[in-house]
Structure 1
């Protein structure tokens, strides 16, 4: 697959079209004017309701009340508004034929007729009828007061450029996209600039002008850091990953793909974990291949040296040297075999433990999902919505548990094979805990658990940010899992001295026995399955935490009593 096809294959996965177009939802100027009309014509009750539901994005109710108004009213001005409400609503419901019919019924005297042409252009752009879309957009291209219609001329330019880009008319596409770029840069709207830069980058990328395309991909990626639109963040990160893959730089591509993964919905996109693992596997394979080549050269060199020594030794003392050599080789081979056997035994033990974890935990999760889905099917027939809600919540919890297990297994495997990337930097502790709290807010609310972040805002740790988040997520997940309803979880910190800081995670959960604490603190040990393993778990997450804490030059302790809660005490170096 060549680089362009590969690039756009990835873009098609995550976006509805290859290129971005500007398509606003509700127009603020139209919104204000229709409200004024509703106040002026108070007797037109159906119009008032239609405009109210239109502004509330309730498309079905908008269609109902606008139709009621049209069936009885002779007010042509309000009728034009209602036809637009209906056309826009049909467009939002992807009923493009009906939307086109309604918008064609609007009089050209309608004060927002340029907006009608814009909406028709967007409809044909979505239908990929790009020449028709261009005709409608060009109708309003010369309109001098686009801002009074509630949209900017830069949007029209960008949509025209997008159409020409789809038609592979690159010169015209470049002309309009750069017109849009100039206006957007003057306005300083980062969110819209991202789309412009992305389209310009794709324009050059399609023409194999990588030296022109890549700077615009990089610009859009830089601007994505400043906006709150997760889709734009994801798209920018994915494009950078594709660029690096086309360059053959899998390590950088992997960093961008990890960033892309951070913005996705973890529940609805669980299968993307495997995709990430696949790319990490590619990177690992590339590294192993390099190592194999180095080893081959070293082996050839060793063979040459050994042969030279062998023939030299024969020339001096054939029998004695031959005997000593054979004996040394025998001892060497014996030690090598013994080391390999011990290593193989260790790997087999680890493999068996992992298979045990995966087979037990995933089998339990899948079985629970099967059972819950059977109940869900039965409940659908009875239309018991309360029970349906409980079953959906239960399925979500099971899926989250399986996802956490897979995530821990992935990071644990990367640690064991020394492929996990660590980069220590200054990290603001309070902000990291705030982010973790936000990620787990639904689980905390589900069990009515009070979360308190009493960490000082002046503390900065010198650690690897990604591994610190993994540690906090695992420990908070355990604290929630083992806490009862209406419990409390507290994050606090003590500055031991100028070099180290203690982070304390305390809960009011079920606690644990001394024996369990001792087993969890044993180095490199996974918990064997016990009678209460459904509560305690396998300890894989905690073992992962211990290794990552150690990688960050930290320490880990546990204080707990049964039914008295648990206190996890972590020590990390501070930023000097």
Structure 2
């Protein structure tokens, strides 16, 4: 009987699973494929449609994807603006293709943040989804971008993997017969010089690629969105074969069709024109185009997604400066050439720092990812162990129940035998007594199990709570240590690099007996030593305030003596730049406050004024007592370049505790963070302004302590 019951139960479960599978498949029924979501030339009309039609449906999802694809092709600043909505709408509609594109787009976004490993993980998931959907166009797009991202790695295995992705995409294009897929594959191959050189490495092969791209583009009007990239590559090919006149003609056509706010394309076009004019010996035009290229490049947002994955942030700017230096050499303009050499060294240093930062981000991501995997595996093992323990407890409980049933059966049998010897009434009493005893034993056993289980559960929760507290404390300690090392490295790196550069120039100046230049170098060394000393003081104060208990007890402070002692710290740096300092301290000012806090805050106010004041500038220090509430205000003013309004608002929000102070965010330095922290600890307030009439002003408002 139990066999047939188990068999029927298994059949019912299979039928139910099949029914649920059929229901779930209904959610994946969709009428669009990746071919219907290619880019369009007029992205503005798509944006207007999205504003007018906010209803969440499959048509809106399609247009969201088309808009994002258009921004990718146009190298626009608006890339990834619809990424979160695409992920939300796809999940809400249970749209498999939308989910696939969301993972594809998320991978490109992570790559723009230099998280190449995580980006490839998302693209691999998207590719598996596209294989399930059997969408060949989606597979081609994903493979092309996987190939480009793989080239960011320096290891040979990744380079070979990039070639593998591209060859796999080439096989799929023969099946799709889609011009959109073909143009993407050809542009990827040509724009990626490494793959092109590994394949053939000669102008004949490059000419064939250019011809295939132009043939595909000219015979398919729907590819108009690719005009800029196709024509730019055609112009670059003519530059390669030294037909600069033809390249100038093509790039001028592109320039007329490029929007004024597409700074990335403008920088590339102006640079190409400048290079062509340089080789045509039209130096004035070349210099003009190079300057326009630099202006456009500097307007590119910091978070811009570069279509050429192998470029760093300063790669294009360094290339422009090198070409301008060649122009200066041809014009025999030594002064211009030396200025450009200094700029090239500066941006090469920034480029190296950016590359190091990206490598560090990759290492940190790998470490966090591996740590997450280990924790997930440990959690899975604990869960599995808990399940096994639960099964064992259930098995033991069933055995006990069976033993109780056997005992009951024996008692019943004994009572049945006694029935023959005694009267019916006595037998019934014995049966009732036996049942009562059995029930009592069963309840007693059940009570013991409940008590034991409750104690075990309570002990488990206590242990988990203790482990969680230890994990949180350890995580905080690790976070502080890593942040301390990062800040120390960040602050010292610039000074060390500057000293290395000065060391390279010093020998040359001594050899050529250039005493005036040696005095300038000596002044620069004094400036760097003063700046480095302040950086170290700030780093020590920051670490002490976060790691140990700093003595911030209030005491009587001679503000005049304190200000003059701090001015002596900057004497060498101020004299180097010939800066004028004016000090006005009210006679009746009495301060009863934390001496350590006031020293740190005023020191960084003066250091900030010194750093941002140009040569022959002015710094003003004023201390006076307010009539209201016996408050004291310390004001530090400096002339020179003004702080942008956006940055002033950000710093004030940090002072008002509306923004989280972190080094490097919006150009924020450690000095500003220390000022904010110690002002809060000292019951004081900070205010900053920057305008054309008074310059940049930092105000410290000190509230009196109660003795």
The TM-score normalised by the length of structure 2 is: 0.33
Quick check: which one's helix share is greater? 2
Pick the structure with greater CA Rg. Answer: 2
